[in-house]
Amino acid sequence: MRSCLKFRHFIYLLLIAQLIACGNQLADKSNAIPKTSLSVARNLVLCERSSSAEQKKIFEEFYGLDDQINKLVLDYGAIYPDRFLSLNSSRDERLDLSPKHPLALSLKELKRQLKTIKFRFSQILTVESYLDLLDFSKRTFQYQFVSSVDQRTIENLIIDLRKQAVFAARFQNFQCKLNQLSMNADADVRTYLELKENSCGDYQRVGCLEHRLKYYNRQNQDQKEKIHSDFIKICKAVERKGACESYFFTFSKKNQLNKLYSTYLDIFKKKKYDVLFKIRSKHSTLSCREEDGVTIMTLPLGFNPKDRFRFLGGIKLTKQFVENMWSNKNFKLEIKEVPLDTKNTFRVIFKKGIISHVDVNKSKTISLNSKITKFTLSKTLAHEVGHVLGFNDCYIEYFDRDSDSIIYYELGREDSNLMCSINFGTKIPDSYFAELKKNVCQF
């Protein structure tokens, strides 16, 4: 028995060593990515073809642990019939992904999180149970917890694991479009939001934006560099950097930085910020009709009857949820269920280990992660239907070469916009329905 355990410990140490050793290989491979703009679905295919066995290992470990957790939860209920693991997905909403607290995804951080989660499991399981947890081929072993473990500890650990598994899936997809994401750096709106927040408004006060610009020549060197760098970040998103430098030099000499800032903040707002909340890609027109002053739009959507069990309350209630989300007092969406193979119609399918997305190019497919909880699934489908209707995500994601990380944050918290976040999003802004009637409806 002891020799068996020692051998399994040895295998486990080899596994950890292999994970650590493959880090540089992953970093090197990430640059060998096509520079052309590809759909999410196509990116996933290329990722699958190009990723080496070592490259996939860390993601498979997250997914494998997540699979094993489902078994652990069942075993916990069998061992402790008087207890219940309350794994409420809504607790993930505590994660702050606002512009001030963005998510920074990197391979180094994912590996650190995986190591931490494994260590935490080693603290709550017996040695033998822990080794079986790492053996993803095991499906029948009944887990044994150390006597001192409490219910909340297990719940928090499982929730953290599932959250990191989602991050790993997002990072894996990002690896396929790093070149695209590196070109998205100009889409970062945090400087714009910070400047608007620090604007003087109707009353100038010491330290507000317009006051600092008015008295630019009186600022210390650090303050001057901040004013300069903020303008360049805003300006180069819409102009060549050389021209931006020239404008700043000229207007600072004339003490007219307020005018320069005002002009380019307005340009940035129009070209980079406002467009996040408008229809940007018109995939097709949809049939609409007017009834009692209400615009009714019909969206044909194909479902696989075998997937009915996945939805909370079945497909019928899920359709009603999506329809209610995309309706207000003047506009109503009607989803017409059609056979899955209906031509020129969007269809809903499920896949494991993906970030839910819409492929609008050829297959017209809404691909949903097969592990999404039933409640979250309804919101996710409503979000993806927004892409079918032509709206983009109003969250920001780009690759920061300086930190070698993928930066992600969400906008729209003030109006609970579902297209900005599935976590906190609970509605669609009224302006979206006016966009649909103007740009998508065919009467």
- Residues 101, 194 within the same domain: no
- Residues 164, 194 within the same domain: no
Distance between first and last Cα of the chain: 75
Number of domain units in the chain: 3
Give yes or no for a contact between 92 and 163, defined as CB atoms under 8 angstroms apart: yes
Whole-angstrom distance, CA of residue 196 vs CA of residue 209: 8
- Residues 30, 163 within the same domain: yes
Q: Which of 148, 176, 204 is the last residue of a domain?
A: 176
- Residues 132, 204 within the same domain: no
As separate numbers, helices (DSSP H) first and strands (DSSP E) second, the chain gives 16, 10
Whole-angstrom distance, CA of residue 372 vs CA of residue 382: 14
Is the dihedral angle over the CA atoms 410, 413, 417, 423 positive or is it negative?
A: positive
Question: What is residue 162's predicted lDDT score, i.e. its pLDDT?
Answer: 74
- Residues 46, 137 within the same domain: yes
Q: Which of 142, 176, 210 is the last residue of a domain?
A: 176
Q: Which of 277, 307, 328 is the last residue of a domain?
A: 277
- b or e along 374-396 (b: 16 or more beta carbons within 10 Å of the residue's beta carbon)? eebbbbbbbbbbbbbbbbebbbb
- Residues 162, 208 within the same domain: no
Give yes or no for a contact between 192 and 92, defined as CB atoms under 8 angstroms apart: no
Question: What tens-digit pLDDT sequence spans the chain (443 residues)?
Answer: 444 444 444 333 333 333 333 333 323 333 333 333 334 444 444 455 444 455 566 667 776 776 666 666 666 656 555 555 554 443 444 567 889 989 888 878 888 888 888 888 888 777 666 666 666 565 554 566 666 666 777 778 777 887 787 777 777 777 666 667 777 788 899 999 999 999 988 777 778 999 999 999 999 999 999 999 999 999 999 999 999 999 999 999 999 999 999 999 999 999 999 999 998 766 578 899 999 999 999 999 999 888 888 887 788 899 999 999 999 999 999 999 999 888 888 899 998 767 788 886 666 889 998 877 777 889 999 999 999 999 989 999 888 888 888 888 999 887 889 999 887 888 999 999 999 999 999 88
H/E stretch holding 103 reads strand 103-105
Backbone angles phi, psi at 331, to 5 degrees: -145, 140
- Residues 254, 310 within the same domain: no
Question: What is residue 17's predicted lDDT score, i.e. its pLDDT?
Answer: 36
- Residues 329, 392 within the same domain: yes
Domain that holds residue 8: 2-176
Give yes or no for a contact between 212 and 227, defined as CB atoms under 8 angstroms apart: yes
Whole-angstrom distance, CA of residue 222 vs CA of residue 324: 51
- Residues 190, 299 within the same domain: no
- Residues 154, 18 within the same domain: yes
- Residues 333, 375 within the same domain: yes
Give yes or no for a contact between 296 and 441, defined as CB atoms under 8 angstroms apart: no
CATH number for position 292? 3.40.390
- Residues 322, 425 within the same domain: yes
